[in-house]
Amino acid sequence: FPADRSASHFLLLKKLQDIICTGAATPRPVPTRGQPWEPKKKANAKPAHGKEHEIPADALVIYCDGCCEPNPGIGGWGFAVYREGAEIDARFGGAAIATNNTMELTGLLMALAWVAASAPAEPVVVFCDSQYAVKGLNEWVPGWKAKGWKRKGGNASEKNQAIANLDLWKAIDKARDDLQFVKVKWVKGHAGTVGNERADELAGLGREEVTPLDLIRQQLNSSAEREPL
């Protein structure tokens, strides 16, 4: 680093160092709280979700989500935690190279990690609008494990046996095994459920926070042209 720490390129390099050292997927608390998980009901309004979204009265509720634009491309994940209808915590993060599915799985994994770290006394329900994540954990993973973490057994080709995002699936499965009191359920996305909309917002914030590699190069080149290191 240059001796003059007020120089513009020092400030840029310090910022980039902080980004690199912190890591794009590090969870960060969100300073502003969202709304309660259920909006005020309008007269004659149709329910935004079905029985699969029923919430036990004494449960801690978490909504998680992931996004990627383009897909594959820059991704984000987020989750919001509710107790008795009030948001008590929210986290988000992102990755410069991702897919929509990897971010959905990361959002779920980070939500489970939060539960493990917080050790709540009440039962926990995690809602996710990704059928891929929810069906994968509740229906597909047991079969994959029985086949030695393969999609198909027997004489199937290696390509047909391979499971996409295997490391994430294994991490989620391990987290779930240690959290038997946690249920993971599907919720319809973009249907007016405040918790789901909040998780979607957080995932978007996570994506926006990621500095693309080409932008880093552009900033470094611009700084070098203005003031040689």
Instruction: Point out the residues that are catalytic.
Output: 65-66, 104, 129, 190, 200
Q: Which of 168, 70, 177, 62 is nearest to 115 (CA)?
A: 62
- Whether 184 contacts 134, CB under 8 Å: yes
Pairing of strands 124-128, 182-186: parallel
Distances in Å between the alpha carbon of 152 and those of 53, 101, 170, 172, 192? 32, 21, 17, 20, 38
CA separation (Å) from 20 to 25, 28, 210, 220?
Answer: 11, 15, 11, 14
Token digits for 83?
């107790």
Q: What does the DSSP 8-state code read for residue 48?
A: S
Alpha carbon 8 to its chain centroid, in Å, reads 34
- 208 burial (CB, 10 Å; 0-12 / 13-18 / 19+) is exposed
